[in-house]
Structure 1
């Protein structure tokens, strides 16, 4: 007899014809929690609290657009035939590397206009970014995406997962590996690491660069388990290639800034 397991309803709230999806609720929750965290730290780092409210006002829409464009470009064959689906972000399809690209470009311009150190801003934001990613992966869980290959129910039970996760990993008659959960847990670990490193008083910029290295390292291995990766070629997963490049670039930036004396200011030092 075939098992029947109903997935979690993707709609969180419905008011008449208006539907609010869990995916959007979870993503926005991650943004707001990350914003609160950055605002709490900004005053200790001699920045007006509203600095990050102003930054998010620009960075959020730009990052969402960049994330969607990134995803659509690598799935263009599908979206060329279904152009109306390009705007359907509530169905998923926001690439994290697109988010980072949009966010970093926005911060570069914002820092220049406000005459604030780019590295100071990104250091403060680093724990917020990885915490937001950890929370945001649960949007993928609701949408039953960002999962790995087929596994047995016994495999999932041996991971001591609660039934609501196991049941949601049952998709069209097959159980799948919860890679969304692996990345969420990896990112929560990164959040704890970065919060601890704040007290270590690293050189300015190195908290953010540590985030880039840590996240990319985990993403490389977890991406290799996924079945819905964006592909650069038939054998190369885009996220894995970018992860390797980001690790190398971040390490080179740390080395270069130290060698040239651009990283003498510490995280806990005030000043712009």
Structure 2
């Protein structure tokens, strides 16, 4: 199976043990934020998944206050760990905005940092609205990281059960979930703020379409793709609002370890 390229950095097992022990006594922070419940569809190499947490990277703004987060490698952060239950479900907390620093937010036009104005301009209905940023490389940021006894793994988070057999041929059949917080109601689109249209990114050869309407607080969004398996190339990428209630996480793709085993 082809390996996806992600960061692999050393991490000590004793620290993992401390993090997992925290599952028995979850952090109690008030006011609590929105929660998201997901179902795990597989374990990594047969090892039992124990816990999961919200994951993001420093390049996507300086997310949250330090009292809420754990830095698992330079620039990579997780929120409080939540235990994966016997029925394979887990409930992960998205933080309340009161726990988030001003540096957690960027102008709405900078929703997707690696598609900046030079490549693809995003049009917004409120230039003063601020948002947390979002990214995609099959794994979404913000996304979900799963822990087992050996390390931690980025998950593919989808609106339908995903298995190893779906990679790579069926990757385009899924919606990949992420979450964005907004300081004010705002519509963000490629093309024009009144009507979204695709923007072609010469650098990657992909068409990008963004068409989202955000409310104050957390918003669930979904990435969709047109994927050419033989070339492992994304030819089109789109970001829309999502009302999906059943969410799934799969951490079994080869090469997805955030931390070495």
Asked if TM exceeds 0.5, the reply is no
Q: Which has the higher contact order (CA 8 A, sep 6+)?
A: 2
TM-score, normalization by structure 1 = 0.28
TM-score, normalization by structure 2 = 0.29
Larger radius of gyration: 1
